A and B are shown apart, each in its own frame.
Chain A
Amino acid sequence: MPPLLRVAPPPDPEVDLETVYDAVIVGSGAAGGTAAHVLTARGLRVLLLEAGRKLDMRSELKSMEWPYDHPRRGEMPPDRHALSFNEYTIRQPPYAEGSPYGRVHSYVQGWGGSDYSRNIVVDEKDHPYTGTRYAWVRARCLGGKTNIWGRLALRLSDLDFKARSHDGYGEDWPIAYADVAPYYDKVDLYLGIAGHRENLPHLPDSLFQRTSRLNPSELRLRGALKRMGRVLTPYRAGVTTDGLKHNKYRSRCLGRGACARRAGGCDIHAAFDSPTGFILPAADTGRLTLRTNSTVREVTVDAATGRARGVAFVDTETGQELEARGRVIVLAASTLESTRLMLLSRSPARPNGIGNSSGHLGHNFCEHVMGPGVLGLVKDMVGRPRTLDDGRPGGFYIPRYRNLSDRHSRFIRGYGFEGAGGAGMFAGMATRTPGFGAGFKKAVRDQAGAYVHIGGFGEVLPRYESQVDLDPQVKDRWGIPVLRFHYAFGDNEKKMCEDMADTAREMFEAAGIEVLEVDRKVLTEGWSIHELGTARMGGDPKTSVLNAFQQSHDVKNLFVVDGSSHVSASCQNPTWTIMALAWRSSEYLADELRRGNL
């Protein structure tokens, strides 16, 4: 099947670095794409800088390539290596140091065909980091991680925004659900989201397009959970299932599969990615200038005024050192990279980095903890005719049920589960099916559609001492100091994970699903790829880096619109919230610029 991208992207305009742009955005993922869209729609002239290269979306997104059409059935060339759980566990960063392989990639390469995303994520050899163990997944290319994201698109609620008021830990966000809800709506309508209304106060519904469906195993689990006062809802996917009249670059979801193999990217862009969702439409306004292969090394400051003047960057193809200037600087380089950039923007007047008068920059890091889950077999489904369970954007989501109105005795906050039942493209369970011969082959065939699995995502508490800073010695390929981690899961996370495994089993047993395996292992810090915090928002400039509009307390024309601004992690996947907040802040930015306040 040929790729279904309907309209070719326009050619790149010449990049003029003499101009002072209205805004310079650093990073082209979920946050930077949102800012590019909103600011150009408001009439601003925007320069968007991306550290990586532009992917050829027609040839490089291989979500539908058959394994047997690939020269190595989806595996990377011999001289490349994807880090394993074991390597993250027994070694310390930098993980690629001393590796005999030509290139080393993060663990996501081991996720559904290592060759399908090696063009999207970084080579760990070029981009080291140090300190405590952390599985840091970075994508440097136009669109960043949105090219391979998991697509679960959830809202936060006031249980998350006002978590301190609920249980006394940490800080409340300086905003409430009511502030963000209109922007969640805008993101829903502009990008499209599939889901089923549940009317849950702690997991607000979006403005849903056509939902994906549940197979019999999943409906059975949903029924059992309902009797327990819990919910299983079809995967809320950041995927347009009905199409978008305003976006000519994206097709509606055609239910083809193979959606379990996210690593290839969605070749028809039904799943949101920043290039087709935001950046190409923004370029069509004529007000967006895009420059790829532009790795920013610091925010430059006008010494006389203390205002941000622009950004210094290296052209990674020519090695040229350049500066781009803007009236406003918008950092959207991803949670940890934006913080790294602010830490790097040091001067005698700001020895600890730009926007860091609070001393909180790099602190209060948080994310999601993963690992515990359960695998089961639904006996009634054995031997049933095959259905295309893998043609859906996802299986299901089980929202948080801990610490809503009750209070758990061992931990605060909560966790949710992602899961799915049914067969995928590859019969991976065959290695776990005992025996050989005709009986083995039949068992693999008959059972493939009968498996169901869930895995938890839990809130990691932000702690002041959970920190990243700059390594005094180690530098990346461009000579830029790298991040050093000072971070590990704490007691609350460990106790939460025990409960995750226990309740996962309890739910399967309640549904009469045969439990094949309960996984109690906690995966390495970072595994969720949901890093958050380190430049948190707040009302008090002494204890926060940004205000409620993601604007630096110290430097008024500096905004940080990605996940680094988040005050706490909640347990919901962050992408939709990142985009809603970036949208809100970008509107504020445009208004303030027009009023002459920036």
Chain B
Amino acid sequence: MRRRDALKIGGGAALAAPLVRAGSSVEAALGSSPPPAPRFFSADEMALVDELTEMIVPADAHSAGARAAQVASFIDGRLADAFLPADAEVRQRWRNGLARVESLSREMHGAGFLACRAEQRTAVMARMAANEEAPKAPEELFFRELKAQAVRGYYTSKIGIHDEMEYKGNTLLAEFAGEVPSD
């Protein structure tokens, strides 16, 4: 079976430890409609997650980014639907992580993250991402978790699959892509 490439390349299941064990039920509402009211995050936290995820996967000339794909709502829904007591720790990690972004921003620039200018925000995130391979500091650990969920939310969205990645599946093909070996 192709468990290996499912794991490595396309399947997606193994992409990262799940945020929490469950997902959100707000998915169906996502799309062109305005984002639903947050169920786990406060309004301030939601705005912060929205900006952070957009900074990870921004809109560019090729396609829209995490904001348009409502990735913050995706993350909010997953945290809201957490099931186990252990998931409470995950929720707390997010609360603490977002608070750490704010305090880091104040340390670096003397202002909260969303009050900073774009290049100041980028500097904060660069600090968070500095040790991505082997994160140790709280903000570094939080960046890994934030990015994993931003990736999950964005690249499973309509925008991520179709506009950004131009996935060609679910179309009828007369012939497979590629070549038959000539020998």
**Residues of A with Cβ closer than 8 Å to B?**
1, 64, 66-79, 81, 100-101, 108, 110-114, 149-152, 196, 211-216, 218-219, 222, 226, 233-234, 254-258, 260-262, 370, 373, 375, 386-392, 394-395, 418-420, 422-431, 434-438, 440-442, 444-445, 448, 451, 453-455, 527-529, 573
Contacts and interface: CB of A to CB of B under 8 A. Distances in A.
Nearest to A435: B129
B177 A112 contact: no
A78 B125 CA distance: 31
Contact of A261 (B6, B160, B180): B6
Contacts of B178: 212-216, 218-219, 387, 389, 392
Interface string B161-183: 10011111111111111111101
B22 A78 contact: yes
A430 B3 CA distance: 19
Interface string B27-38: 110110000000
A78 B4 contact: no
Contacts of B62: 441-442, 445
Given A391-B168, A455-B3, A79 B13 contact: no
A439 B7 CA distance: 25
B129 A214 contact: no
Contact of A66 (B12, B125, B161): B161
A129 B8 CA distance: 29
A68 B27 contact: yes
Given A213-B179, A428-B15, 19 more contacts: A64-B169, A66-B170, A67-B156, A69-B28, A71-B23, A73-B153, A111-B7, A112-B10, A151-B1, A196-B181, A216-B178, A234-B181, A258-B170, A438-B58, A441-B57, A441-B164, A442-B60, A451-B9, A454-B4
Contacts of B91: none
B2 A68 contact: no
A451 B20 CA distance: 29
Contacts, number: 280
Interface of B: 1-16, 18, 20-25, 27-28, 30-31, 55-58, 60, 62, 65, 74, 81-85, 122, 125, 129, 132-133, 147-148, 151-153, 155-158, 160-161, 164-181, 183
A280 to B, nearest CB: 24
B117 to A, nearest CB: 16
Given A79-B83, A255-B172, A386-B165, A112 B5 contact: no
Query: What is the predominant secondary structure among interface residues of chain B facing chain A?
Result: loop
A67 B11 CA distance: 11
B3 A370 contact: yes
A529 B56 CA distance: 38
15 contacts: A67-B161, A71-B28, A101-B21, A101-B83, A111-B11, A113-B13, A222-B181, A226-B183, A234-B180, A260-B9, A388-B168, A395-B2, A441-B57, A442-B60, A573-B1
Given A110-B14, A258-B170, A387-B178, A453 B60 contact: no
B166 A427 contact: no
A150 B16 CA distance: 23
Contacts of A68: 27, 30-31, 156-158, 161
Nearest to B15: A428
Contacts of B57: 436, 440-441
B132 to A, nearest CB: 5
A71 B160 CA distance: 17
A72 B24 contact: yes
A74 to B, nearest CB: 7
B83 A78 contact: yes
B7 to A, nearest CB: 8
The 5 closest A-B pairs by CB, nearest first: A424-B10, A150-B1, A455-B4, A72-B23, A78-B22
A215 B161 CA distance: 21
A392 B178 CA distance: 10
Contact of B9 (A77, A101, A429, A573): A429
A422 B8 CA distance: 11
A67 B14 CA distance: 15
Given A431-B147, A440-B56, A425 B13 contact: no
Given A66-B161, A386-B166, A394 B12 contact: no
